[in-house]
Amino acid sequence: MPASLAPVVEELELRQPAVVTRSLLMEILARRQVSLPPAAAAERLVRLGWLLPLRTRGAWEFAPAARAGRYRAGDPWIELRALLAHDPDAPVAVAFESAIWELGHSSHQPDRPVLAHRRGWRPPPSLGVRAATFDWRVPTKTVRGLPVWTEATILVAAAERAAAQGNWGNAEDWLPNTFRAARAEDLLGEAEGRRVSTLARLGYLAEWAGRNDIAEEIEALLPSRLPVTFLGPRDRGAQWSKRWRVYNSLLPRR
């Protein structure tokens, strides 16, 4: 360890940041009165294995001494952390099956992380995630330092954009758990003003998951004459719900 970099590494070990940005490195260099330019310091720390390059420019993953080598933490959200370190107000959130996993409502970790963003914002390719557009209304939760959809947003989004929800095959695992954890007022707030088809599917999902209280409140928002709605692809073997006028080809029969 060069003497010039020892105070920098010491500061990084004290702070334990998952991501080191150029601005953070500049702050540490100034705090520890190290005269190296940030680019030179970063290059040396990368060469020595303390910083690991990321796809996001001006950001690196910190590899603390506890890892005993140049090993990554295996965090699927490391590039998102780098993005948020540069732009904390980016309109993004961990979403759909990834949010279900992060909130502890599923025993199946998604094969690929899923991120949602608001309309008008384009995720950079460096994130390496599956991205979907959805304008949520209920504020996100913070889980492991990341913005994560609430249960209410997950359920309304699954009803509105069923094709974007990727784990219907194990819905018996996550759907009842997510409904049990959802707050009724948040669900109604997230559902307010959505299309009739979205509300009908949401009511059907609530009934299927055993949240009859939510189903009744959703039903009260619906018009007396409902259009026919599909949950999943149009399939001759789909299950018909007269109450919601929904054809279900995604969920097992109840």
- Residue extents of the structural domains in the chain: 1-90, 91-248
Q: Which of 165, 236, 149 is nearest to 201 (CA)?
A: 165
Q: Report the pLDDT value the prediction gives residue 68, as an integer from 0 to 100.
A: 87
34 touches 41 (CB < 8 A): yes
Question: What is the model's pLDDT at position 93?
Answer: 98
pLDDT reported for residue 252: 87
**Strand 130-133 to 141-143 pairing:** unpaired
Number of other residues whose CB lies within 10 A of the CB of residue 131: 18
Burial class (CB in 10 A: 0-12, 13-18, 19+), 213: exposed
Q: How far is CA 242 from the centre of its chain?
A: 34
Which pLDDT score is estimated for 30?
96
Task: Report DSSP letters for 102-151, one per residue.
Answer: HTT--SS--SS-EEEE-TT----GGG-SEEEE----SPPEEETTEEE--H
Which pLDDT score is estimated for 139? Answer: 97
DSSP 168-214: GGGHHHHHHHHHHHS-HHHHHHHHTT--HHHHHHHHHHHHHHT-HHH
- 64 phi, psi to nearest 5 deg: -65, 165
Whole-model pTM: value is 0.91
d(CA 204, CA 42): 54
Question: Can you give the pLDDT of all 254 residues of the chain as single tens digits?
Answer: 889 899 999 999 999 999 999 999 999 999 999 999 999 999 999 999 999 999 999 999 999 999 988 999 999 999 999 999 999 999 999 999 999 999 999 998 999 999 999 999 999 989 989 999 999 999 999 999 999 999 999 999 999 999 999 899 999 999 999 999 999 999 999 999 999 999 999 999 999 999 999 999 999 999 999 999 999 999 888 999 999 999 999 998 77
Instruction: Tell me the one-letter amino acid at 3.
Output: A
The first and second tokens of residue 43, run together, are: 């290059």
* 201 vs 245: CA distance, rounded Å: 9
What pLDDT, on the 0 to 100 scale, is given for residue 235?
86
Choose the CATH number for 1-90 among 3.40.50.720, 2.40.128.20, 1.20.1630.10, 3.90.56.20. Answer: 3.90.56.20
Q: Which two tokens stand for residue 170?
A: 């194990």
Strand order in the sheet with 146-148: 130-133, 114-117, 92-94, 146-148, 141-143
Q: Which residue matches tokens 């991120």? A: 115
